[in-house]
């Protein structure tokens, strides 16, 4: 029997065609984008140069006005304005020199600079030198040297660079028009290639995938109806053959699991009865404890008082065990809100301070990171931490210290709880949520599994380790807000 071909082998050539299409489209798109971007940048550059040239021309004539004001009107502000306009023209010439490209533009900018320097040479003497007493000499400087010589040369240089930039803009506009004419062709080629690839892909899917998969689906409907003995035919590509084998194996596993499913349903029924049983236990317990508390009287014999106290202690122990069992079995639904962890820890320490003081244990919060927030259900987290903190207090000897710390590690908030007790007999794991061992006389073994479940539903975790100097260290973490 011939080995069926795999989908990988069949799709290899289609993948190559697809990559060629992507490559061609990318090359065409990148080329068009580059041409459009380069022409746009060139247009902006020429526009900027034209703007600078026009602005310099206007500034020059404003500078000439200030020259005449300083010479004939004795305007005290004219000389400073003259210097200011001269600085603006020099800045414009510097920008033109930096922006210019090619020998022709560079030469035009240099000619414009030379013409302005010639003007500046004459006007600087008039503006800041002694005013000639001879009116004919002043007229020659202003009319002949400046107007007929320097300004005319500047206008000639201005007209040269202006015509050059306008011509280059016209050439650039022709280039953009040509690019716009060829743009539809750049769009049509990828579309035609995409249509061809779509047709090939449809044929491939129909022949090598859809028809065999339809047969697999029809067979699985038969299996879903309960006919687990009906196998899925092995046909089509290699992956579909392997899928048929996996479904057939699953059908065999399902047949073997039916017996286990019946047993699981029975256990689920028992789990549903637990809250009812707990309710029926709690009511008599409350009545028994209330009666024993009422009967407590200092005048009674010590043996009777001890018996009544034993009844109340037993009722309290059964109540705690029932509450822990219900908390553990009840599905936890976290009502998340952004919560500052340090105030939550401080409130928790306040709630357990009296219990710690009775046992002679000191509570300490080490260097908390202020403003460390996480999206948590504060009531659930507080309940879980309360159980762990009470365990640490009860496990620590008199004079010991229970230490808490809140810090940030990467993208998570970490709470550290360390005591100086004897340590845990076994390290609980996050995957083990069954009631664990307890060393307390009234313990239920459900405190640690409950805390594990709370932190896991928050996307965090809980790890325990024995401290080298004695005691237990609990590391708890949740993602940051």
Whether 232 and 170 map to the same domain: the answer is: no
69 within domain boundaries: yes
How much is the pLDDT for 414?
A: 94
444 within domain boundaries: yes
CATH of residue 293's domain is 1.10.287
> Which range has the top average pLDDT, 86-100, 203-217, 399-413?
399-413
Q: Write out the residue range of the structural domain in which residue 469 sits.
A: 334-479
Print the SS3 string covering 348-399.
Answer: HHHHHHHHHHHCCCEEEEECCCCCCEEEECHHHHHHHHHHHHHHHHHHCCCC
For residue 1, pLDDT over 60 is answered with: no
216 within domain boundaries: no
Whether 68 and 183 map to the same domain: the answer is: yes
Whether 95 and 234 map to the same domain: the answer is: no
For residue 15, pLDDT over 60 is answered with: yes
220 within domain boundaries: no
Residue ranges of E strands in 222-372: 337-340, 362-366
- Per-residue pLDDT band for 272 (boundaries 50, 70, 90) equals low
Whether 62 and 131 map to the same domain: the answer is: yes
For the chain, what is the domain count? 3
127 within domain boundaries: yes
For residue 430, pLDDT over 50 is answered with: no
pTM exceeding the 0.75 threshold for the entire prediction:
no
293 within domain boundaries: yes
Whole-number Å distance between alpha carbons of 286 and 281:
9
Percent of the chain with pLDDT over 90: 13
Whether 321 and 340 map to the same domain: the answer is: no
DSSP 465: E
Q: Which residues contact 120 (CB under 8 A, 6 or more apart)?
A: 86
Whole-number Å distance between alpha carbons of 269 and 292:
35
How much is the pLDDT for 403?
A: 94
Show which of 298, 330, 362 is a domain's final residue. 330
How much is the pLDDT for 444?
A: 46
For residue 236, pLDDT over 80 is answered with: no
Number of Cβ atoms within 10 Å of the Cβ of 395: 21
Q: What is the mean pLDDT of the chain?
A: 77
How much is the pLDDT for 431?
A: 39
Show which of 291, 312, 330 is a domain's final residue. 330
Whether 347 and 418 map to the same domain: the answer is: yes
For residue 120, pLDDT over 60 is answered with: yes
How much is the pLDDT for 422?
A: 86
CATH of residue 120's domain is 1.20.120
Q: Who has greater pLDDT, 75 or 172?
A: 172
DSSP 339: E
Q: Which residues contact 53 (CB under 8 A, 6 or more apart)?
A: 92, 96, 112, 158, 161, 162, 165
CATH of residue 459's domain is 3.30.565.10
Token pair belonging to 181: 């004419």
Unique residue bearing structure tokens 């009107």 = 73
Report yes or no: 235 and 212 within 8 Å, Cβ to Cβ: yes
Whether 184 and 295 map to the same domain: the answer is: no
206 within domain boundaries: no
3-state secondary structure of 474: strand
* Model confidence pLDDT, tens digit, residues 314-360: 777 677 656 655 655 555 577 889 999 999 999 999 888 988 998 99
How much is the pLDDT for 133?
A: 47
Whether 127 and 249 map to the same domain: the answer is: no
How much is the pLDDT for 72?
A: 66
Q: CA angle at residue 327 from 325 to 330, to 5 degrees?
A: 100
DSSP 145: I
Whether 338 and 449 map to the same domain: the answer is: yes
Whole-number Å distance between alpha carbons of 149 and 158:
14
Q: Which residues contact 155 (CB under 8 A, 6 or more apart)?
A: none
Whether 365 and 302 map to the same domain: the answer is: no
- The CB-side HSE value for 149 (13 A sphere, CA atoms) comes to 15
Whether 168 and 19 map to the same domain: the answer is: yes
Whether 326 and 400 map to the same domain: the answer is: no
Of 129-133, 150-154, 234-238, 372-376, least confident by mean pLDDT is 129-133
- Per-residue pLDDT band for 393 (boundaries 50, 70, 90) equals very high
28 within domain boundaries: yes
Show which of 330, 353, 379 is a domain's final residue. 330
């Amino acid at each position: 029997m011939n080995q069926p071909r795999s989908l990988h082998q069949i799709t290899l050539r289609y993948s190559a065609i697809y990559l060629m299409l992507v490559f061609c489209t990318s090359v065409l798109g990148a080329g068009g984008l580059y041409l459009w971007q380069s022409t746009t940048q060139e247009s902006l550059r020429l526009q900027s140069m034209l703007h600078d040239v026009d602005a310099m021309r206007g500034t020059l004539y404003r500078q000439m006005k200030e020259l005449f004001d300083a010479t004939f009107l004795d305007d005290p502000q004219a000389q400073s304005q003259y210097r200011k306009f001269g600085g603006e023209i020099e800045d414009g010439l510097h920008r033109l020199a930096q922006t210019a490209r090619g020998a022709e533009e560079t030469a035009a900018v240099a000619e414009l600079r030379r013409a302005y320097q010639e003007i500046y040479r004459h006007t600087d003497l008039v503006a800041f030198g002694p005013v000639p007493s001879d009116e004919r000499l002043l007229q020659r400087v202003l009319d002949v040297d400046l107007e007929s010589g320097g300004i005319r040369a500047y206008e000639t240089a201005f007209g040269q660079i202006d015509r050059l930039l306008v011509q280059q803009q016209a050439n650039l506009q022709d280039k953009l028009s040509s690019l716009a004419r060829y743009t539809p062709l750049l769009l049509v080629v990828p579309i035609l290639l995409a249509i061809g690839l779509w047709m090939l892909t449809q044929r491939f899917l129909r022949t090598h995938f859809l028809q065999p998969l339809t047969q697999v689906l029809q067979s699985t409907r038969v299996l879903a109806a309960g006919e687990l003995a009906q196998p899925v035919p092995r046909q089509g590509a290699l992956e579909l053959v392997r899928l048929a084998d996996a479904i057939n194996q699953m059908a065999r596993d399902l047949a073997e699991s039916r017996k286990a499913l019946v047993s699981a349903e029975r256990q689920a029924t028992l789990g549903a009865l637990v809250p009812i049983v707990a309710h029926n236990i709690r009511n008599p317990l409350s009545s028994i404890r209330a009666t024993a508390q009422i009967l407590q009287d200092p005048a009674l014999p010590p043996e009777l008082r001890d018996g009544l106290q034993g009844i109340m202690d037993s009722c309290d122990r059964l109540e705690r065990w029932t509450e822990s069992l219900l908390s553990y079995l009840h599905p936890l639904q976290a009502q998340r809100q952004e919560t500052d962890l340090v105030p939550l820890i401080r409130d928790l320490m306040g709630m357990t301070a009296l219990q710690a003081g009775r046992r002679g244990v000191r509570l300490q919060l080490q260097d908390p990171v202020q403003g460390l927030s996480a999206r948590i259900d504060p009531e659930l987290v507080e309940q879980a931490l309360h159980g762990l903190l009470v365990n640490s207090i009860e496990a620590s000897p008199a004079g010991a210290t229970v230490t808490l710390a809140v810090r940030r590690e990467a993208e998570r908030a970490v709470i550290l709880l360390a005591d100086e007790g004897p340590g845990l007999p076994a390290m609980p794991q996050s995957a083990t949520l069954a009631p664990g061992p307890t060393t307390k006389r009234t313990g239920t073994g459900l405190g640690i599994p409950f805390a594990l479940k709370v932190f896991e539903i928050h996307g965090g975790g809980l790890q325990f380790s024995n401290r080298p100097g004695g005691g237990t260290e609990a590391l708890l973490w949740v993602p940051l807000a």
